[in-house]
């Protein structure tokens, strides 16, 4: 009986499969790393738009901004970060059916990397 002893190690097929799996994992990692700055920019623009909406609502509640339909441009926020250059905040006011109660809709429109985004907040404000 002539027995051959199998030598240890990996076959060519096992090595190719391992390299293919490693390549796929590296491609996914590279895609995530390349997309990260875009995600950060989008989230920062969204945060700044929401701050502009909050600021507008506070100024309406305080009586600084009149409760009339209007478009507001050139926003800056005190809490750091640069708002998107094309940030436009629109104010829409309509009666809510009860005396001195108004439905106020504040909409922020902006673009990030060529894609248009919109955030909207609807609230009721009592004004005498």
* pTM, rounded to two decimals: 0.68
Low-confidence ranges of the chain (pLDDT < 50): none
Look at residue 2 in the predicted model and tell me its pLDDT. Answer: 59
Supply the DSSP symbol for 114.
T
Q: Which helix (H) or strand (E) holds 50?
A: helix 12-62
Look at residue 77 in the predicted model and tell me its pLDDT. Answer: 56
Look at residue 118 in the predicted model and tell me its pLDDT. Answer: 95
Beta strands in the chain (DSSP E): 70-72, 88-95, 101-112, 115-126
């Amino acid at each position: 009986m002539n027995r051959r002893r199998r030598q240890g190690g990996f076959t060519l097929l096992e090595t190719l499969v391992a390299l293919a799996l490693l390549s796929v994992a590296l491609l996914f990692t590279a895609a995530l790393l390349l997309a990260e700055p875009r995600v950060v920019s989008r989230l920062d623009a969204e945060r700044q738009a929401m701050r502009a909406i909050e600021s507008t609502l506070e100024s309406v509640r305080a009586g600084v901004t009149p409760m009339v339909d209007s478009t507001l441009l050139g926003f800056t926020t005190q809490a750091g970060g640069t708002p998107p250059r094309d940030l436009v905040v629109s104010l829409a006011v309509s009666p809510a059916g009860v005396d001195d109660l108004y439905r106020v809709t504040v909409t922020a429109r902006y673009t990030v990397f060529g894609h248009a985004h919109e955030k909207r907040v609807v609230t009721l404000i009592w004004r005498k």
